[in-house]
Chains A and B, each alone.
Chain A
Amino acid sequence: MKTNILKFFGSLALLFAFVISSVTANAGTKDDVTKKGSLNCGVSQGVPGFSNADASGKWTGIDVDMCRAVAAAVFGDANKVKYQPLSAKDRFEVLKSGQIDMLARNTTWTLSRDAGLALEFVGTNFYDGQGFIVRKAAKINSAKKLNNVKVCVETGTTTELNLRDYFKANNLKYEAVAFTKADEAVAAYDAGRCDVYTTDKSGLAAQRTKMKNPAEHTVLPETISKEPLGPVVRGDDQNWKDIASWSLYVMIEAEELGVSSKNIDSMKSTDNPNIKRLLGLEGDTGKSLGLAPEWAYNIIKQVGNYGEVYEKNVGANTPIGLARSGSPNQLWTKGGILYAPPVR
């Protein structure tokens, strides 16, 4: 009897210890990240050009560079990132639960996500729109002619919702075959399960490279939605949101000022006060963010300005081959809509 009671109190104590240890103080994300020594960044399960791991496990892409930029700002070292591949379906829950510090996973900025999920979109690092890809053998040249078709789509995305809106608005019939992973949806389309595959146009270009015979498929000209893609953080930490936002803005600002990873060291001798402020030589932009004065310098030096990041990952000379001129992803000074608030 006695040992039973002892055992009982022992297990009770353990339970309490567990309950109490689960009450953790809600410190700032930046402090947590600094303490951990690396940034946990949620990325896709493989969208070439955005976030994709090569055979050696090295991640590249425009979203990956967003993670690297924040790491460069916080640590002064762009490589201190741990990537966590997430499905579209899981991404927000994983972010909310605190398993990742930031989500850079070609995620569309919408009102319900921004306001309803207690999340904060930090900006747009790629302006995209939804499109369709079909087999050339289908002899269809316009999305208006899609009727009685089966469409493969990734579940838990805005794509899934836009798809319905589009077919409803145009009074066309379709069946949506929804998959959890983009890869599965693409494979199903490739195998003939669906007549059409739909996602953001950048995604179409990227996924097409994975198909058995990319030349057999064609992207239809229509863009059926606005898809501003950007990184996301939790909504309860203003400082962390600012760090992520301005990490993006300084890359855009650097391009506008003509500062790149290659010429940044020679730029140090410039007289332009804007550039001096950007490089942390004048004023202290890092102070109000809680970062080192050379935080923006580190981003540009190690990751590059927006133009470099774009051309390296999705530009015309990559397999994705998305020409930048004429697209919204061009600086506002060149007819695009990329516009960074003043860094001062």
Chain B
Amino acid sequence: MLRIEEIKNSVKKNLRLGNLIPQLLLLFTFVFIIYYFTSNAQTNMASRNISSGFDFLKTNSGFDVQFSLIDYDGSYSFGRAYLVGLLNTLLVSSFGIVFATILGFLVGVARLSNNFLLSKLSQLYVEILRNLPLILQIFFWYFVVLRNLPSTENSFIFLDFLIVNVQGAYFPKFIFTNFNAIFYGLVCAILAIFLARYYSKKLIYERGKSLPVFKISILCLILFTTIFALIGNTDLQLKRAELIQNFGIFNYVGGVKLVPEFLALLFALSLYTSTFIAENVRAGILSVGKGQKEASKSLGFNNSQSLKLIIIPQALRVIIPPTTNQYLNLLKNSSLAAGIGYPDLASVFAGTALSQTGKAIEIIFIVMLTYLSISLIISAFLNWYNHKIAFVEK
């Protein structure tokens, strides 16, 4: 109600004549400038015989990309190349956001720990990583750390599971037969978990007893999937990467491969962003009144209970808005990938595709629109979440 009144007032104020004329002029100028630049670009491009339009998206790209989540090679279109870049950007950003959040929370909480060594180490972590330019950190991981891994024929092999060398990291591919059974098991487990939650709520209200819901849920998951897998004859095979020798050149083929460019970018983005999130978490926790913690202690909550049930929920209100910014920064910073050759959106589409087609205006427009859309989606989601956990004012 209040907001509608406010808007009405502001509209009224803005409609006064003295205000109206400058605003109309501003609008006119704005439209004129946009019109001027578009028509200027059009006439110049026409006079230089530069073709424009988006038809190129359908033509064959002619170049290959080393790391792609979908089927792609040079016989696919530039539109497909865009999709490859977009997915690679989303991949590194989403992993980066998850890791940065986990690390950031741990470090933020650790910084407030009573353990002197732990809190000082966390401080050191934050101060060092936060104050070095991100591109340098990317280079550090790529050129200093990952470049010094052993060559293919001398790879590190951990437990016959993970293979690491200078050309990347290889995990086995999981191949399930009769995967359906596990799926049904999962469905049953989820149903069971819902039931358990419902029952535990009821128990608390009726008898004041609590159930270890989390432990029960884990147990349900393991139990149901195993039983169903056994009944349904599910079989899991690990398909490992195989070493292939071609004259003196060794290569691992097959398995799930993570290229060093991806790893370097992921490490650098997660670590760098985690420091800012850690500071947000620390600020959020410190913003919760001391009395809250004391009250929870006097109610008999232990440290982790008070953190989980009292402090964090209140701190989140302070933590989320600046953390949204960090997520957006991480997404945008992922475009630094071009520096080390990770095929993200900026490097595949605004880089390679642009120089192969020369369609600078169209491509930059598409790429800007894409980053803008993803950013707006992330921020809309977090605004919604922030709104949801905000204090309900009565």
A interface residue numbers (CB < 8 A to B) = 1, 4-5, 8, 12, 15, 19, 23, 88-93, 96, 113, 116-118, 134-135, 137-140, 145-150, 155-156, 160-161, 163-165, 168, 174-180, 184-185, 187-188, 191-195, 234-236
B-to-A contact residues, CB < 8 Å: 18, 22, 25-26, 29, 33, 36, 40, 47-51, 62-66, 73-74, 143, 147, 151-152, 166-167, 244, 246-249, 251, 253, 259-261, 338-341, 343, 347, 351-352, 354-358, 360
The reply to whether A89 and B352 form a contact with Cβ atoms under 8 Å apart is: yes
CA of A140 to CA of B248 in the docked complex: distance in angstroms? Answer: 7
Give Cα A152–Cα B352 distance, bound, in whole angstroms.
14
The answer to whether B251 touches A178 (Cβ under 8 A) is no
Q: Is the interface of A mostly helix, strand, loop or mixed?
A: mixed
Are A164's CB and B22's CB within 8 A? no
Q: Can you list 10 A-B pairs, Cβ within 8 angstroms, ordered by A?
A: A5-B22, A15-B33, A116-B357, A118-B49, A140-B248, A150-B251, A155-B352, A164-B62, A165-B62, A180-B339
Known contacts A164-B74, A236-B47: does B360 contact A148 (CB below 8 Å)? no
Expressed in whole angstroms, the Cα–Cα distance for A138 and B249 within the complex equals 5
Contacts of A96 in B (CB 8 A): 48, 50, 358, 360
Query: B34: shortest Cβ distance to chain A, in Å?
Result: 11
In the bound assembly, the distance between CA atoms of A8 and B253 in angstroms comes to 65
The answer to whether A147 and B248 have CB atoms under 8 Å apart is no
Q: State whether B246 touches A178 (Cβ < 8 A).
A: no
Q: Is the CB of B360 within 8 A of A93?
A: yes
CB < 8 Å neighbour of B167 from A118, A150, A174: A150
Given A176-B63, A193-B167, is A92 in contact with B341 using a C-beta cutoff of 8 Å? no
> B52 to chain A: closest CB distance in Å?
11
Q: Chain B contacts of A160 at CB under 8 A?
A: 63, 352, 356
CB-CB < 8 A to B36: which residues of A? 19
A89 in contact with B355 (CB, 8 Å) = yes
Q: What separation, in Å, do the CA atoms of A153 and B25 have in the docked complex?
A: 53
> Which of B73, B247, B355, B360 makes the CB contact (< 8 A) with A164?
B73
Note all chain A residues with C-beta closer than 8 A to B166.
191-193
> A174–B246 Cα gap in the complex (Å)?
12
> Smallest distance from the beta carbon of B41 to chain A beta carbons, Å?
12
Which residue of chain B is the closest to A162 with respect to CB atoms? B62
**13 more A-B contacts (CB under 8 A) besides A155-B355, A178-B63, A192-B166?**
A19-B36, A117-B358, A139-B247, A140-B247, A145-B246, A145-B247, A155-B63, A156-B352, A163-B64, A164-B74, A176-B64, A184-B340, A234-B48
CA distance A180 to B347 in the complex (A): 8
* A93 CB → nearest B CB, Å: 5
Residue of B nearest to A236 (CB): B48
Q: Cβ of A148: which chain B residues have Cβ within 8 Å of it?
A: 244, 246, 249, 251, 253
What residues of A have a CB within 8 angstroms of the CB of B340 in the complex? 179, 184
Complex alpha-carbon distance, A236 and B46, angstroms: 11
Closest-by-CB residue of B relative to A187 is B143
The CA-CA distance from A137 to B49 in the complex, in Å, is: 50
> What separation, in Å, do the CA atoms of A155 and B147 have in the docked complex?
21
Contact across chains for B147 and A193 when beta carbons are under 8 A apart: yes
Which residue on chain B has the smallest CB distance to residue A176?
B64
Give complex CA distance A165, B63 in Å. Answer: 9
* Top-7 shortest CB links A-B: A156-B355, A139-B248, A138-B248, A118-B48, A117-B358, A164-B74, A179-B341
Q: How far is the CA of A176 from the CA of B347 in the complex (A)?
A: 14
A23 to B37, CA, bound (A): 10
Chain B residues in 8 Å Cβ range of A140? 246-249
Contact A8 B26 (CB under 8 A): yes
Q: Which residues of chain A have C-beta atoms less than 8 A from B338's C-beta?
A: 180
- Inter-chain contact B351/A155, CB cutoff 8 Å: yes
Structural contact, A92 and B355, CB atoms closer than 8 A: yes
In the complex, what's the smallest C-beta–C-beta distance from B110 to chain A, in angstroms?
35
